[in-house]
């Protein structure tokens, strides 16, 4: 809260020194005595902030101190609820999480769930200690080694690869798709949690300039981008689960296809998929480069691709193919349409964060 302590006149002492008296009320409150140092921090607008050294050093010590949290786990607790609690602590920046159990039997009940969570979801986290009644998880990753931009790029590569894998699974006879899809999905989710954790880390410390941001508001844009990429993976997984179910029903003779997969429609969807992936990568590139012009071009492409998507949907309808196969193709097409919307989202974020840079006042 700001308080008005009046104003002070600047006085000149000697040939090149200027002094100003400090408000007595503030000096007493901060317990400043003769000989104490005061640190000056210059802001972007040229104004200055005065910080007594002892407060400045105290803040530095608090920032460098590891953030520890304790969770008490009861035998009747739900495993899914425990996973959400640990994940939330990871996201909000806890460096060390101590899980305390009633006894050894209680710990053994949850050990596998905790191990899987740390291994598959919490990037940079490791179980560093375990006793009969406690498990300690610590996040060890060094932030500068994996920047938020690098993590988002990696997320996009994995999410688009997952999307491509799902389309291939519709036609392929191989059985190794399930593990590949599961691994890709877990990797995207792990990176998403890391990005959220890192955004919070920089936001809390006012380090937005270290990320190339012009203002704090840009954090929200990156959070939306991470969510869009995660949604690409989630949509692809949803489609994949339906394809797997369809194949199982066909293998069990529960369903019978009237005709095989239509090659013409499949090729159209494949080509549309390539265009969506390329456009998504272009939208990310424009975001990271702060390129207003490139982001603006995305909107023109989306108008063209919307017509293409409608034509493919009409082809599926007109051909009157087997309803089950038409449903699978429709789900894939819908997932690709969503990618098109995510491209629009990212392009709009880029426009909003750069418009003032290209229109000087």
Confidence (pLDDT) at 352: 92
Domain 66-139, second-level architecture: 2-Layer Sandwich (3.30)
Confidence band, pLDDT 50/70/90 cuts, at residue 164? very high
- Each domain of the chain, given as residue ranges in start order, spans 11-63, 66-139, 144-358
Find the mean pLDDT for residues 329-346.
Answer: 94
Residue 176: the pLDDT is 67
Pairing of strands 96-101, 68-73: parallel
Q: What is the pLDDT of residue 260?
A: 73
Structure confidence at residue 73 (pLDDT): 93
CA distance 225 to 219: 10
Highest mean pLDDT among 116-130, 310-324, 339-353: 339-353
What pLDDT sits at residue 63?
60
> Global pTM?
0.79
Q: Considering the chain, what is the average pLDDT of its residues? A: 87
Token pair recorded at residue 21? 């008296």
The answer to whether residue 143 scores a pLDDT higher than 60 is: no
CATH number of 11-63: 2.10.260
Q: For residues 140 and 124, is the Cβ–Cβ distance under 8 A? A: yes
| pLDDT (mean) for 311-318 | 90
Helix H or strand E segment including 350? helix 323-358
Residue 329 has pLDDT above 70, yes or no: yes
Q: What is the DSSP pairing of strand 48-52 with strand 38-42? A: antiparallel
pLDDT of residue 359: 84
Say how many residues make up the chain.
361
pLDDT, average across residues 302-307: 92
CA–centroid distance for 176 within its chain: 28
* CATH number 1.20.58.220 is the correct assignment for the domain at 144-358: yes
Ranked by mean pLDDT, the top range of 142-151, 211-220, 276-285 is 276-285
Segment 266-292, tens digit of pLDDT = 999 999 999 999 999 999 999 999 999
- pLDDT digits over 230-256, tens only? 999 999 999 999 888 888 887 787 767
Sign of the dihedral through C-alpha 196, 198, 204, 207 = negative
């Amino acid at each position: 809260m700001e308080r008005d302590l009046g104003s002070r006149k600047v006085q000149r002492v000697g040939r090149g020194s200027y002094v100003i008296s400090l408000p007595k009320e503030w000096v007493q409150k901060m317990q400043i005595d003769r000989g104490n140092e005061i640190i000056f921090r210059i802001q972007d607008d040229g104004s200055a902030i005065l910080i007594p050294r002892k407060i400045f050093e105290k803040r530095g010590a608090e920032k460098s101190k590891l953030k520890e949290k304790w969770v008490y786990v009861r035998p009747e607790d739900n495993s899914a609820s425990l996973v959400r609690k640990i994940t939330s602590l990871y996201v909000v920046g806890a460096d060390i999480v101590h899980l305390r159990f009633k006894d050894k039997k209680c710990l053994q009940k949850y050990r596998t769930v905790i191990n899987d969570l740390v291994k598959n979801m919490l990037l940079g986290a490791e179980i560093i200690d375990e006793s009969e009644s406690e498990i300690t998880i610590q996040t060890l990753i060094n932030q500068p080694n994996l920047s938020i931009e690098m993590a988002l790029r990696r997320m996009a590569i994995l999410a688009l690869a997952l999307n491509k894998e799902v389309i291939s699974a519709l036609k392929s006879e191989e059985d190794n798709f399930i593990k590949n899809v599961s691994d890709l999905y877990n990797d995207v989710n792990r990176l998403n949690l890391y990005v959220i954790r890192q955004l919070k880390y920089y936001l809390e410390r006012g380090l937005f300039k270290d990320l190339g941001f012009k203002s704090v508001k840009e954090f929200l844009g990156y959070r939306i981008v991470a969510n869009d990429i995660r949604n690409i993976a989630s949509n692809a997984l949803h489609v994949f689960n339906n394809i797997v179910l369809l194949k199982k029903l066909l293998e069990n003779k529960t369903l019978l296809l009237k005709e095989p997969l239509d090659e013409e429609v499949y090729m159209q969807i494949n080509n549309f998929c390539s265009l969506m992936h390329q456009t998504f990568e272009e939208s990310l590139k424009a975001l990271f480069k702060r390129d207003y012009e490139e982001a603006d071009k995305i909107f023109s492409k989306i108008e063209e691709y919307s017509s293409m998507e409608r034509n493919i949907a009409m082809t599926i309808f007109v051909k009157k193919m087997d309803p089950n196969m038409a449903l699978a193709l429709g789900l894939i097409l819908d997932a690709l349409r969503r990618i098109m919307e995510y491209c629009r989202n990212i392009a709009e974020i880029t426009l909003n964060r750069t418009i003032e840079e290209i229109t000087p006042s």
